[in-house]
Structure 1
Amino acid sequence: MSSLNDTPPPPASLAYGRHTWKEVAHLLADLPCALAGFVYAVVTIALGVGLSVTVIGLPLLALGLAGARGMAGAERARARGLLGVHVERPSRLPHRDGFLPWLWAQLKDPVAWRSQLYGFIRLPWGVLTFTVTLVSLIVLWPVLPFVARGLGNVDRAMVRGLLSPSDELERRIAELESDRGVVVDTAAADLRRIERDLHDGAQARLVALAMGLGLAKEKLLDDPEAAAAMVDEAHGEVKLALQELRDLARGIHPAVLTDRGLDAALSAVAARCTVPVKVSVDLPERPAEAIEGIAYFTVSELLQNVSKHARARSAAVDVWRTEERLMLQVRDDGAGGADPAAGSGLAGLGERLGAVDGVLAVDSPAGGPTVVTAELPWRDRDRDRPAAS
């Protein structure tokens, strides 16, 4: 598919303009480029298929297909520079752990096979375009702009048809496969965090509580006053353990979010922030529970960043709906300089939003202010609720 950034040349005319000379240069370069592509395609496929009865045949074929993607990229760049054709780069193959999954992914890559097909059919076309263009430069030079335009348009069609992504479905499948890995990694990290918090916090406190109560039981008859003091201390430990369990449960899914929605839940988060936060939630109805939870934790993490890093005096949170998207925006008047590319938590947050077809945009110039906007798909709450039996 071509991009909206295509720069179509002006109509051909008898005058030799800049676009005409670019097309002529592209057509004259067709023959050497087509010859290189044809030889590469024949050699890699012949070796791979011919040696497929051995252990090196299919790996050679896979490597040849991977290289075909690179040659297709060079052809797209040539067409972009000389013909003004801006074709989107096909999605990268998703990362595969292990040799056999990588091999299978390479062998069934439609982009690479279309690139090899492009190399095959370009040789006769390259011979034709080189010959016609060269003859026109010598004999038919008055009509060369029209000849170059016609041949160039065929080249444009070939590039768009064979070197662009198959369709949007191919791109979305690759994105979703990549996003699935992000979701799995995030879920595993959350489980490890919960396990660590339980082990180091409530579990350790409950073990100490059990030991303290055991000692108090032994002293109950011999030293009632000491036993009473130990029971009183254990009572305090119970309160602390309950508070830690509440905090942990709030980190999984806060009850206020389930019961009262985003407005109340975000107000509670804002109250715990170290700077004053103004919260504005304008939603006609509640989104699906999953989207609501992601929105809550997104704002929670952004406000934690404000507390820890922004050096801000105030912040604001706005939540609203635009058509079928849930919009979140967190602003602060701090020092700015937040950069997702620097490996901060913003990068991980952007990946988690991308896993549900969301988007994160960060505007944080040095000196501030910082504005972080998140966009999530709106999903009706009733659609995600199981039907009554």
Structure 2
Amino acid sequence: MTMSPPPPDTDRPPPARLAFDRWTWKEIAYLLVNLPMAIAGFVYAVFLIGVGTGLSVTVIGLPLLALGLRGARAFGRAERSRARAMLGVRIDEPSPMRLGRQDRGFFSWLWSQLKDPVGWRALLYAFIRLPWGVVTFTVVLVGLFVLWPVLPYIARGMANADRAMARGLLSPSDELERRIAELESDRGVVVDTAAADLRRIERDLHDGAQARLVALAMDLGLAKEKLTADPEAAARMVDEAHGEVKVALQELRDLARGIHPAVLTDRGLDAALSAIASRCTVPVTVEVGLSARPAEAIEGIAYFTVSELLQNVSKHSRARQASVEVWRSGDRLLIQVSDDGTGGARLDGGTGMSGLAERLGAVDGLFVLDSPAGGPTTVTAELPWRDRTDTPAKPVRP
């Protein structure tokens, strides 16, 4: 049996030799184009730094510098494309600028642009390239007429220096930069979600239990006044107040369950999700295949994710049955909620799906919605698994 040779590694050109092969001509062309690209980049960098910093005391200086850094990103993208095409260098594209909700104001946008490390590195690359561009253009041009026999070696050596510069200044910094950008964006989601939850709790307390307790205090005050003059009326009022106390206690229990249900703390996801399913208007089967409990924060996010999804099933799906499955795969906790309803759910459909996706993304999770028109609908959520550290792991029914 014969085997075909492995494909060449495009990031490693063949060794230089006394021959003008495809790689050599590509490198020669790249080195000759270095000069015009270096001149353009140097002029852009000097103009931007000079004008941007010189006008920084005015209202247009910093915005001009911010826009210039976006232009530097475009210059870096062009140089990465040129290096990939002519030098065979594998350089990933940096993460695009993603603005979280907290960055929607002008000054927040301006600050996020001014601290963009990709733009500044591309600007540095453009600034330092002029001397090197002059050297490569001159040496290669002279080599074409004078140093022809050894030109492949010269071109290979200078092209390798270009490869090193491109990798060092134009490539993402080991995913750290990408993760920082994502976490900065996700931080806004976490802050907004926490603020919305606090507003909801405050509203529920003010409109529910607090208003009922105020009315209860007034009724008890009236009953106290009637206690001697009309004992029977006072007894009726106390009896009504007793009923109001029961209702207020139930509202407080519901509110506490909305913050963090006691059944989740005491018995884990299996029992808590079964309790949610029992309140759904659609018959729901629950299967939790976990041999241990995840960290409290992850467990809570999983619980409220399923809770909101089952609320959507009750309100919007027109389903006859639904299912919830939870299991662990490696270092991830997976949740799948399915129903046989009419489908057509969308992330921008006003059913809270986009909010769920943002919340899961904020903790390095994933949210996948599959809901074709006519159904069925399947939502898969993925969360990072973290072991509990505060209490021993409790086995849950597989």
1:321 deviates by: 1.5
* SS of the residue 2:120 aligns to: helix
Q: Equivalent residues in 2 for 1:222-371 (5 A)?
A: 222-341=229-348, 344-371=351-378
In the aligned structure 1, how far is the partner of 2:223 from the partner of 2:191? 46
- Per mean C-alpha deviation after superposition, the further-off stretch among 154-163 and 325-334 is 154-163
- Kindly provide the CA deviation profile for residues 147-201 of structure 1, in whole angstroms up to 9, marking residues without a partner as x: 9888766555443321122233333233223222221111111010001011111
CA displacement at 1:20 relative to structure 2: 9.1
Equivalent position of 1:75 in the other structure = 79
Q: Is the contact between residue 342 and residue 374 of structure 2 (CA under 8 Å) also seen in structure 1?
A: yes
Q: How does 1:91-110 map to 2 (within 5 A)?
A: 92=97, 96=103, 106=113, 108-110=115-117
Moved more, 306-315 or 170-179: 170-179
Do the aligned partners of 2:321 and 2:340 also contact (CA within 8 Å) in 1?
yes
Q: SS where residue 88 of structure 1 aligns?
A: coil
Q: Do the aligned residues in 2 keep the contact of 1:87 with 1:160 (CA within 8 Å)? A: no
> Identity over aligned residues, as a percent?
74
Partner of 2:389, secondary structure, is helix
Counterpart CA distance in 1 for 2:216 and 2:146 is 100
Contact 1:91 1:165 in 2 (8 A): no
Letter of the 2:312 partner, please give it. N
Equivalent residues of 1:315, 1:330 under 8 A apart: yes
Distance 2:151 2:339 in 1: 61
* Shift of residue 303, structure 1, vs aligned partner: 1.1
Name the CA distance, whole Å, in 2 between partners of 1:64 and 1:160.
Answer: 22
In structure 2, the CA distance between the partners of 1:333 and 1:125, relative to structure 1 (3 Å rule), is: farther
Q: Could you tell me how far 1:237 is from its partner in structure 2?
A: 2.0
Partner residue of 2:128? Answer: 121
Q: Which sits farther off after the overlay, 111-120 or 81-90?
A: 81-90
Q: What is the alpha-carbon distance in structure 1 between the residues aligned to residue 322 and residue 140 of structure 2? A: 65
Instruction: Decide which moves more: 160-169 or 71-80.
Output: 71-80
Aligned letter for 1:267?
Answer: S
- CA offset at residue 140 of structure 1? 11
Instruction: Report how far residue 297 of structure 1 moved.
Output: 0.8
Structure 1 residues 29 and 382: CA distance shift in structure 2, 3 A: same
C-alpha offsets along residues 181-235 of structure 1, whole Å, 9 cap, x if unaligned? 2211111110100010111111122222223333334444554444444333333
Aligned equivalents of 1:134 and 1:308: distance in 2? 73
CA distance in 2, matches of 1:384, 1:181: 31
Give the Cα separation in 1 of the matches to 2:390 and 2:85: 48
Residue 69 of structure 2: aligned partner: 65
Whichever residue aligns with residue 382 of structure 1, its letter is T
Q: Distance in 1 between matches of 2:150 and 2:368?
A: 51
Structure 1 spans left out of the alignment, 5+ residues: 1-5
**How high is the TM-score relative to the length of structure 1?**
0.80
Unaligned runs of 5+ in 2: 1-7, 393-398
Find the aligned partners of 2:230 and 2:85 in 1 and give their Cα distance.
92
1:41 aligns with 2:41: no
- Counterpart of 1:382? 389
Post-superposition offset of 1:369: 2.1
CA contact under 8 A between 2:99 and 2:109: conserved in structure 1? no
Q: Give the structure-2-normalised TM-score.
A: 0.78
Distance 1:230 1:383 in 2: 48
In structure 2, distance between residues paired with 1:336 and 1:43: 56
The farther-off stretch of 85-94 and 348-357 is 85-94
Distance in 2, matches of 1:336 and 1:144, equals 66
Q: Distance in 2 between matches of 1:128 and 1:42?
A: 20
